[in-house]
Amino acid sequence: MTDLGFAAYTADTTNMLNMFLITMSLMIGTAGLPHVIIRFFTVPKVADARSSAGWALVFIALLYTVAPAVGSMARLNITTTFWPGAIDGETFSKPALSIAEIDSNPDLTWIRNWEKTGLLGFTDKNGDGLIQYFNEKKPVTDAAKALGEAKKALEEAAADADKVALEAAAAEKQAAFDAALADPAKGIGGKSLAEQGLVGNELTTVNNDIMVLANPEIAALPGWVIALVAAGGLAAALSTAAGLLLAISSAISHDLIKGALKPEISEKGELLWARISMAAAIVLATWLGLNPPGFAAQVVALAFGLAAATIFPVLMMGIFSTRVTKEGAIVGMLVGLIATSVYIFLYLGWFFIPGTNMLPNTPDAHWLGISPAGFGPVGALLNVAAAYIVSAMTKAPPQDVQDLIQSIRVPKGAGKAQAH
């Protein structure tokens, strides 16, 4: 990895605060996911609910532990595929993977298959018939982009236009690009790209979303393993979608409309609103699927961040505090939701519409280095602060509600320890 300019697998993160917040967001966000919480209502006894929660924690821990390992193995498989020498020796001990090998080796048909989808792409920039894959430094990328734009402007100039200035600009960008290639600090393996005959990373597209499905193919595993992975992913997607749709429809039809806006609504009307809210959720999810704000893991992190900033704090305050009022909980959830959503939209675009972001989604532009995926815990703190402030300004909950909270913390039948 380091020979190709990538960080080592075990390298420490440059922003520990952001990594801590993302981890915290995944932890408390999971606890606040509505489609996970409602599963506890599907068991007959409290003991079963506790057992269910215990097993859920085991499998969630396995998921979070295995995911980084899958990513590491995927990168290793990609690297050893395009640099065969890295399998049993030094990375550069053998030439990089050739285009002829890609077209002739049956084990490499996955490359052309995924290339057809547009999720994987390569370009032989130096014309040597090999695909050199490495971590291209940003100055080289910027210089190549500037050169491409200058050449495009020259090619698209009108026939009667004065091309002297455009040619001079193209020559200047070419010189800057050549200087970047000749700089050892911008190369790999302690050598400049020019010394190694390289002009840039030639594996131009590797979409993050293909890794789970493509990894079995890359590793040349049997077809039934690929089918099992695809079936598992589809089952997980359908299960999650079903749980979320059930939670959304019941929250809107029963909790919001029947519980607050229209208590006299009939069961038929409540069912109608459940169907309407479910259809609206499907339309919104479809639109977000067609215009995703990031790759799958980023979208999941954003969703967990919103759950962490809205539901989890109120859930915890409802169990451990008898002073938080209904008004405080509502205001707290709104503050957490709005603060987290606005922070996400500032960097990823308003309602994830491309080109509407007000700030670049880069580490140097993030507030205190906190990425949008890691802002959930900050929203949770704002949620708690707003809830307690509003609760202090409003009437305390009725005594029966406070007694209910105490009974949740002390199950029925529990008493003082007795000597035997």
The 10s digit of each residue's pLDDT in 140-169 is: 888 888 888 888 888 887 777 777 788 888
Confidence of residue 414 (pLDDT cuts 50, 70, 90): very low
Q: Which residues contact 149 (CB under 8 A, 6 or more apart)?
A: 173
Model confidence over 92-120: pLDDT tens digits?
778 888 999 998 988 888 888 888 888 88
Query: Is pLDDT of 418 > 60?
Result: no
Name the more confident of 3 and 271.
Answer: 271
What confidence score (pLDDT) does residue 390 get? 94
How distant, in Å, are the alpha carbons of 118, 124, 196, 197, 368 from that of 84? 24, 18, 17, 18, 41
Report the Cα 24 to chain-centroid distance in Å: 14
Contact at 8 Å (CB) between 194 and 153? no
Q: What pLDDT shows up at residue 419?
A: 53
At residue 12, does pLDDT exceed 70? no
Helix (H, G, I), strand (E, B) or coil at 121: strand
Q: What is the SS3 assignment for 322?
A: coil
pLDDT in tens, 178-231: 888 888 888 887 788 888 888 888 888 888 777 777 778 777 788 788 788 788
CA-closest candidate to residue 42, choices 56, 28, 30: 56
**In which residue are the tokens 């909270």 written?**
405
Stronger pLDDT, 39 or 416, i.e. the higher one = 39
**What is the mean predicted confidence (pLDDT) over 124-133?**
87
- Which pLDDT band, with edges at 50, 70 and 90, does 416 fall under? low
CA dist., res. 32 & res. 314, Å (int): 9
Nearest-angstrom CA–CA distance, 97 and 114: 17
pTM of the model: 0.71
Confidence at residue 128, expressed as pLDDT on a 0 to 100 scale: 86
Question: In this structure, what is the dihedral angle of CA atoms 300, 82, 92, 71, given to the nearest 10 degrees?
Answer: 20
Query: Are the C-beta atoms of 191 and 3 separated by less than 8 Å?
Result: no
| 311: pLDDT strictly greater than 70 | yes
Q: What is the pLDDT of residue 338?
A: 94
Question: What is the end-to-end Cα distance of the chain in Å, rounded?
Answer: 64
Cα dihedral 402→408→409→415 (10° resolution): 100
Q: What is the pLDDT of residue 340?
A: 93
